[in-house]
Amino acid sequence: MTCKLNADTSDGLKIVSDTSGAIDLQSNGVTKVSMASSGNVSIGGNDVLTDSAKSLTASGYQTLSNGLIIQWASATSASDINFPITFPTACLSVTPGVQFNGQLFYGNTFHISGLFTTKFTITSPSASVSIRYIAIGH
């Protein structure tokens, strides 16, 4: 059921409902904020929060409604490391860390020599490290 709340009417607050499952906040009969039955939220017709594509696994990603993508994973050695999914436009940043004896360390000596939409290339002073990373792009 849609519950429409309109607070800017000539005769006061109006509440109207139907069977669609959405909630709309209106001013003067115009929807300003809407939450669909799926939970997606929009303000002024622009998506703010949507349940977009995601994989919340050890090697996963989350896409946001504005096109930003966050990805993470691990690799057993320094080399070409493939992202879980391809960034449509660009990978903007990769932050690597090393896992050693069950602890994760950042700020180690890494060199990223290639940053692509599908992968990045990384070298490390030690070949026997487990690398974890987070990448951001669109």
Same domain membership, residue 28 and residue 14: yes
| Contact yes or no for 76/130 (Cβ under 8 A) | yes
Same domain membership, residue 63 and residue 31: no
**How confident is the model over 47-106, as pLDDT tens digits?**
776 667 889 999 999 998 788 999 999 887 768 899 999 999 999 999 888 777 777 776
| Domain count for the chain | 2
Same domain membership, residue 80 and residue 35: no
Total-model pTM = 0.66
Same domain membership, residue 64 and residue 125: yes
Tokens 């691990």 found at: 74
Percentage helix, strand, coil for the chain under 3-state DSSP, each rounded to 5: 0, 55, 45
